[in-house]
Chain A
């Protein structure tokens, strides 16, 4: 039973437009959420995180939104750039413990 799900395996967006990646979770004890970005043949790298006491966190072009009642988080990338083409994983943890990852969403930003 997957506790963290990314229901869209892929996303294609035009350069300059907004990319919206979604993630749903089932474990109500999760209180810390992260997004990771992964290029081919490289390890995942940390992108942005949010604690359950917040509903929004911004870092430059990246914003993560958390809706605890819906057990849903999303990552917005504005504006999208070709270098953003990668696989994005959302992850969740309970009390900052081990991370549980979603299946990933492959983003393609077209010039």
Chain B
């Protein structure tokens, strides 16, 4: 079965370290998204991509970057982790520009 997987599922890091969260989907979807989930804020969009070599900023993109070198992967990088980036991160994908998103199981990141 096609799927979307995130790794690591749990990560503890220190302030100032670089962290990369991986997202891999096997549906061959063009559109991929990164969200963070925080209490009271729901899911907020960090970055998204509509295809290879395309990346766009979402509403909370400061301190994060993404790259899209192939269809399957959209890694999310925190250049210098901050305690405010402690959160649960979800990757999602869909084929077209419309319709439902399919989410990964999430990556819980703790920045100490």
Please provide the chain A residues from 78 to 99 with a CB less than 8 Å away from any CB of chain B in the complex. 89, 91, 93, 95-99
Q: Residue A96 contacts which of B44, B58, B97, B105 (CB distance < 8 angstroms)?
A: B97
Q: Are the CB atoms of A97 and B97 closer together than 8 Å?
A: yes
Q: Are the CB atoms of B105 and A42 closer together than 8 Å?
A: yes
Q: What's the least CB distance linking A5 to chain B, in Å? A: 9
- Bitwise, A39-73 to B at CB < 8 A (1) or not (0) is 00111111001000000000000000000000000
Q: Are the CB atoms of A34 and B100 closer together than 8 Å?
A: yes
Q: Are the CB atoms of A103 and B42 closer together than 8 Å?
A: yes
Residues of chain A with a CB closer than 8 A to B41's CB: 103
Residues of chain A with a CB closer than 8 A to B106's CB: 41-43
Q: Residue B43 contacts which of A32, A49, A93, A101 (CB distance < 8 angstroms)?
A: A101
- Bin the interface of chain A by size: 20 to 34
Q: Are the CB atoms of A43 and B42 closer together than 8 Å?
A: no
Q: Are the CB atoms of B45 and A44 closer together than 8 Å?
A: no
Bound-state Cα–Cα, A93 to B99, Å: 9
Total interface residues in chain B, CB < 8 Å:
23
Q: Residue A44 contacts which of B43, B58, B98 (CB distance < 8 angstroms)?
A: B43
Bound-state Cα–Cα, A101 to B90, Å: 13
Please provide the chain A residues from 1 to 22 with a CB less than 8 Å away from any CB of chain B in the complex. 4, 6, 9
Question: Is B111 close to A, CB under 8 A?
Answer: no
Question: Is B101 close to A, CB under 8 A?
Answer: yes
Query: B4: nearest residue on chain A (CB-CB)?
Result: A43
Bound-state Cα–Cα, A100 to B42, Å: 9
Residues of chain B with a CB closer than 8 A to A41's CB: 105-106
Q: A: which residues have CB within 8 A of B?
A: 4, 6, 9, 32, 34, 36, 41-46, 49, 89, 91, 93, 95-104
25 contacts between A and B (CB under 8 A): A34-B100, A42-B106, A43-B90, A43-B103, A43-B105, A43-B106, A44-B103, A49-B100, A89-B43, A91-B43, A93-B98, A95-B97, A96-B97, A96-B98, A97-B98, A98-B33, A98-B45, A98-B58, A99-B101, A101-B42, A101-B43, A101-B44, A103-B41, A103-B42, A104-B42
